[in-house]
Chains A and B, each alone.
Chain A
Amino acid sequence: KAGVTQTPRYLIKTRGQQVTLSCSPISGHRSVSWYQQTPGQGLQFLFEYFSETQRNKGNFPGRFSGRQFSNSRSEMNVSTLELGDSALYLCASSPGDANTGELFFGEGSRLTVL
């Protein structure tokens, strides 16, 4: 069974540009969540999607957006990039409501903003 796949793995952008990151969950998983990881800050919650609906959004500015498609694949977009957006963006999937505590993570997309 394939794991969670995130693309691209690495990318470099300049301030003001926008970026789209993609996440393909494990087959059969309907819940996808996104996290931003920076050194010393742990994983900061960005969004959670279930069956194409955004169920919650973390404390991030409106420049951060996302969506989920009918096949459960998800994308997140960051517009007007700032230097502080440089981070590892992690996607995780779970079969249902994730209330059993187990999230399956992808390897992440490492974004560098110059």
Chain B
Amino acid sequence: GQSLEQPSEVTAVEGAIVQINCTYQTSGFYGLSWYQQHDGGAPTFLSYNALDGLEETGRFSSFLSRSDSYGYLLLQELQMKDSASYFCAVRVAGGFKTIFGAGTRLFVKA
């Protein structure tokens, strides 16, 4: 089957760096995406890795290693507003569907 595994919760201190990991089992996919969702809000797109390596967008970076079936989202200079749920997702190749991990709840403490 196809599945993505993420830690359920992560806690970090304001100003720190946190890494949210995502391991996956899927036969083929176009790329790995990350989404942020605040309580009561819609998921919003953060980043996309089509190729192996690091993608950087401001305070957020995302990494993909297809050989290790692994990716991560790195958040730097954490702010209180970063407290939210973060989901990794893959677009299944030829499957016309995007599947999501169960999400990681990030708590940022002062």
Contact B91 A99 (CB under 8 A): yes
| Complex CA–CA separation, A41 to B48 (angstroms) | 22
Q: What residues of chain A lie closer than 8 Å to B97, measured between beta carbons?
A: 33, 45, 48, 56, 58
Contact B98 A90 (CB under 8 A): no
Cβ of B99 under 8 Å from chain A: yes
Smallest CB gap from A3: residue in B: B42
Cβ of A107 under 8 Å from chain B: yes
Q: What residues of chain A lie closer than 8 Å to B35, measured between beta carbons?
A: 103, 105
What residues of chain B have their CB less than 8 Å away from a CB belonging to chain A? 8, 30-33, 35, 41-45, 48, 50, 87, 89, 91, 95-103
Q: Taking the nearest CB of chain A, how far is it from the CB of B54, in angstroms? A: 16
Of the candidates B8, B43, B95, the one having the most CB atoms from chain A within 10 angstroms of its own CB is B43
| Complex CA–CA separation, A40 to B21 (angstroms) | 17
**Which of these, A44, A58, A103, A107, contacts B41 with CB under 8 Å?**
A107
| Complex CA–CA separation, A44 to B99 (angstroms) | 7
Q: Taking the nearest CB of chain B, how far is it from the CB of A38, in angstroms? A: 10
Contact A56 B95 (CB under 8 A): yes
Contact B33 A102 (CB under 8 A): yes
Contact B102 A41 (CB under 8 A): yes
Cβ of A62 under 8 Å from chain B: no
Contact A101 B87 (CB under 8 A): no
> Do A105 and B43 form a contact, CB below 8 Å, given A55-B96, A99-B91?
yes
Contact B98 A102 (CB under 8 A): no
